[in-house]
Amino acid sequence: MSSDLWSFSLSTYAKPGVEPACLQLQSTGVNVCLLLCAAWLGQRGIACNEQRLQQLRSETTSWDAEVVRPLRALRMQWKDAATKDGELSKLREQVKTLELEAERHLLQRLERSAQNWPQEEKTDLSAWLEGVAADAAHLDRDALHQLRVAVTGT
């Protein structure tokens, strides 16, 4: 198990089926960084409760809205045009790098927010995953299950 959230997120996201599951959940309004943080916390045995969920959501909201989503929107806006314009394609890749860096910073913020929560408590990974996905429109339970399986191996 990765000790830091960034390493955990990279290794989890690289597992088969996780990327499409995360993108599907993102399309329903779930924040992928928050989702990966929830998986990390659940795997570490940190108990899920509403106060902790709210603290993580609060940490996520403004950074996601003011930094990550604008970068993602710009990258997506340039997607079609970049296939025909090499210079724009290079700029788009730079924006993609910035977007990933912004997500890394968000994950670091989330990790710091949870750093003093006690580990090895009895917890249910599903409670964390469903807790951060609770506000999603038309939650895709299959995608959530795919992520849970990737994290636990079962």
Please tell me the predicted confidence (pLDDT) of residue 88: 97
What whole-number distance in Å separates Cα of residue 136 and Cα of residue 26?
9
pLDDT score of 1 more than 60: no
pLDDT in tens, 120-142: 766 778 899 999 998 887 888 89
Q: Which residues contact 5 (CB under 8 A, 6 or more apart)?
A: 36, 37, 40, 107, 108, 110, 111
Residue pair 150/15 in contact (Cβ under 8 Å)? The answer is yes
Domain coordinates in residue numbering, the chain: 5-152
Whether residue 61 contacts residue 112, with contact meaning beta carbons closer than 8 Å, is answered with: no
Rounded Cα distance, 116 and 105, in Å? 19
Backbone Cα Rg of the chain: 16
> For 20-46, how does the pLDDT look when each residue is reduced to its tens digit (9 = 90+)?
999 999 999 999 999 999 999 998 889
